[in-house]
Structure 1
């Protein structure tokens, strides 16, 4: 029988307990995990929006600052902007500051810098329609109040709600409000990770290879209010990263002890 959503969340919770018990990982190991994640996240989150840089090309751009022939300036900016927004997100995670509209606006400003110079960091003032979606975002006049309500709702996780469910619901609702002209998906996926990291969970990247499932389950959540399929997609993304952590833990635990140089 396929794993139910409840079983998946239970397994992910148990894996999280294993990771917590094994902390701290060696600093170099943790840094390599997170450096690798950022490359994957920058690739996946922009590829979901049509960026054609490959994973390897994304790595070259981020690590070496080299432009890729045949790729547009916008595609390069998209991945470098995500990296800058990721730094800002992690600064918020480490702080004691609550979720605010200012944070989301700042993430949007960083994400869309040089791409939408006039709209970056500003709520939309015109109606928008999402290509291929039945969901119609609210009238722009309602966006400020919708965002005020949003940050109040997601400032604190309700007792008993699983952190992954909470993060997934935040993504669904922010994307449904669609407060910006463009870049809503990228800001929503950044927010998912901010909420996960604050709960001690590893970050998660929705893989570009599962774009159809990601979009279909997000659409279903917004149109029919059936959120469980999107929660599952989110939990599977967390599970993938947890497996990386668990592998690092196994490798760390299997290492022989460092030889005592004075033992001879």
Structure 2
């Protein structure tokens, strides 16, 4: 008789075949036999999304995937479920399409799906999300994007509700900024006789600086016999980015610029420390060194590493010897501590350049990947990761357990990072840079690992430009920190993070002996 572990191994082999060697995270119940399915569910490798549909959990010892990481399977489930139910006769609504065209992959509370085969049905899903299957008169054209059938970009803009222009302004602006000219927009407007929508789009374009395109829409509608009423559909109280009048920009780049403009005003109203000039540069650098142990201990602990003050000091003093000590060679915690020290030294040297007047936007653009490589060089040297894995930005999607925010897809990273460094260069208030740049860096999440640590290094490099001291985020306040990041990333509310950082800037660093390591869920 086969042993339990042998039976489980057989079921896992069956699952591997169904998921095409792990490339799928969602399966139909009928794709596995009842015996295999129940065994895998009992052992936590499968979780029910809804009747007939299951999510694969490759980490059953960790939190329940559906509860803690619904975003990791949500869009794949939506695509597979709708394909299974409607074949190719479905597409997402205007709002959902605009969000995805704009590189916003976060999970909305509800997605409306249009299909001639639908029956106006509400499909309830985990985490208080749902699909509403809206019956359309006929099969409607769609464009494919990452297995999802979207409403064409210009058509989606023309079909947005007036409310969406205010509640989803960042998404809308990111899409408008990527549309060249007005020809396709006018085709949808004229074919539907939608002069009121044309007036709304013209008002938006004029507000964003594309005056020529706004004039073209109004004049074309008037020449066709319509009397469009131009109206700015955005919230006039919100600061928005100005679009380039002559060339389009990638949606991810416009998204970052828009977020900087929108959140910058709120952050500036809540910054609680003054910008000063550092005259004693050697003294400032010496103070950074004094704070190193507390910084490394807390920053690594925030990311789930189990590090001690003794380990941090051993690395700092050059007593970490992987060639002589097997424990040093094998432990990921020691490798992380060594990498943090190497990256810290790079950042400290760059701060000296900043204090000497180096432009921070240019310096961070040139050096942030050097920090990343330094951070993971011990793991490369130990053979734990390959050199190509630290050779640039990530080439795969990443998801954040416990967060509703979904970082940008790989193809959007380079444009977004360019926009981030341009925003840093164009911003005159170093305090504002220190608040906004790190949160937008983690929003993009450009690297396969280490994004939180690099973001905190970036924060401190920019705080140095403002004259503020090197600031430690205490692991004891990790939940508050993460909640503030979530508010900024998911709800564009920068105030909690601004208040949090300013409080720490004005406080002494936490004592090293009081810091307790904790694991990241």
User: TM-score higher than 0.5 here?
Assistant: yes
For the pair 1:103 / 2:367, whether they are aligned, the reply is yes
Q: 1:87 to 1:49 in 2, by over 3 A?
A: same
Partner of 1:216: 483
Partner of 2:252: none
Report 1:55-70 matches (<5 A): 55-63=309-317, 65-66=319-320
Tell me, in whole angstroms, the C-alpha distance in 2 between the residues paired with 1:112 and 1:242: 26
For the pair 1:113 / 2:377, whether they are aligned, the reply is yes
Partner of 1:258: none
Structure 1 residue 102, shift from structure 2 partner: 2.9
Partner of 2:465: 198
**SS state of the match for residue 363, structure 2?**
coil
CA contact (8 A) 2:298 2:474 kept: yes
- Which structure shows the bigger proportion of residues in strand conformation? 2
CA contact (8 A) 2:281 2:352 kept: no
Question: TM-score, length-normalised on structure 2?
Answer: 0.40
Question: TM-score, length-normalised on structure 1?
Answer: 0.75
**SS state of the match for residue 89, structure 1?**
helix
For the pair 1:49 / 2:303, whether they are aligned, the reply is yes
2:395 to 112, 119, 125: 125
CA contact (8 A) 2:431 2:466 kept: no
CA contact (8 A) 1:99 1:151 kept: no
Q: Residue deviations 1:53-105, cap 9 Å, x none?
A: 12343223322525799786221121222222122122222222523433111
Higher relative contact order (CA 8 A, sep 6+): 1
Structure 1 residue 151, shift from structure 2 partner: 0.8
- Which structure shows the bigger proportion of residues in helix conformation? 1
1:135 to 401, 405, 408: 405
For the pair 1:233 / 2:487, whether they are aligned, the reply is no
Structure with bigger gyration radius: 2
Q: Residue deviations 1:219-252, cap 9 Å, x none?
A: 11100011111112211221124899xxxxxxxx
| Structure 2: segments with no counterpart, 5+ residues | 1-266, 380-384, 512-521
For the pair 1:92 / 2:358, whether they are aligned, the reply is no
Q: 1:25 to 1:143 in 2, by over 3 A?
A: closer
**SS state of the match for residue 154, structure 1?**
helix
**SS state of the match for residue 112, structure 1?**
helix
Q: What is the total number of aligned residue pairs between the two structures?
A: 229
**SS state of the match for residue 114, structure 1?**
helix
CA contact (8 A) 1:9 1:235 kept: yes
